[in-house]
Amino acid sequence: MSAPIDTLREGAAALGVALSGRQAEQLLAYGTLMLKWNKVYNLTAVRDPAGVMTHHLLDSLAVIAPLQRQYPEKGKLLDVGSGAGLPGVIIAIMRPDIDVSCLDAVAKKAAFVQQVAAELELPNLRGLHARVELLEGSYNVVSSRAFASLPDFFNGSKQLLAPDGVWLAMKGKNPSDELAGLPPEVAVFHVEQLVVPGLDAERCIVWARKDPV
């Protein structure tokens, strides 16, 4: 059986992502922290190291190359309904040029992200405890991972997306039924299929921006 670092590196390479030694260490440390906190706080349903590797670390790493293509410059990202920090923490580790705020309505989950930021020395990461509808600010990228239906996600966060910003919504299979019910001010410009190493499940990213109409 290969060591976790090898599984991580091979998976990242398959996703087109190059990991520095420090990034690999931070990702594995994050997975360890998640398992440790899970014993006390119910952060995630995945409770074994192999599951954390595929369902959390590699699954979230799958957005890094697409994000680099869609948003290569520095800026601010809001991860809505971030839970234990997915994919926000992974983005913060891989994109130090992006300030990442992980938003969750559950205080202990936001506190966990703050702990991760401190322990992994990630100055560009913070946990926010609030409801998305009540938050203020402007973000270049607003992301979510299986947070809610697409109409709810777009409606709840549209006041937070910068005029030229993009939404990054991670979903399982192509959510054609949800796409049919989007508000008119949301323009989906790409549904990108993902293949996650070791994960036998469909994944995609729904990319959208505000329609200027």
How far CA 93 is from CA of 102, 106, 140, 159, in Å, comes to: 13, 23, 18, 26
**According to the annotation, is 165 in a ligand binding site?**
no
**According to the annotation, is 81 in a ligand binding site?**
yes
Q: Are 53 and 8 in contact (CB under 8 A)?
A: yes
**According to the annotation, is 136 in a ligand binding site?**
no
Binding residue positions for S-adenosyl-L-methionine = 81, 86, 132-133, 145
Binding residue positions = 81, 86, 132-133, 145
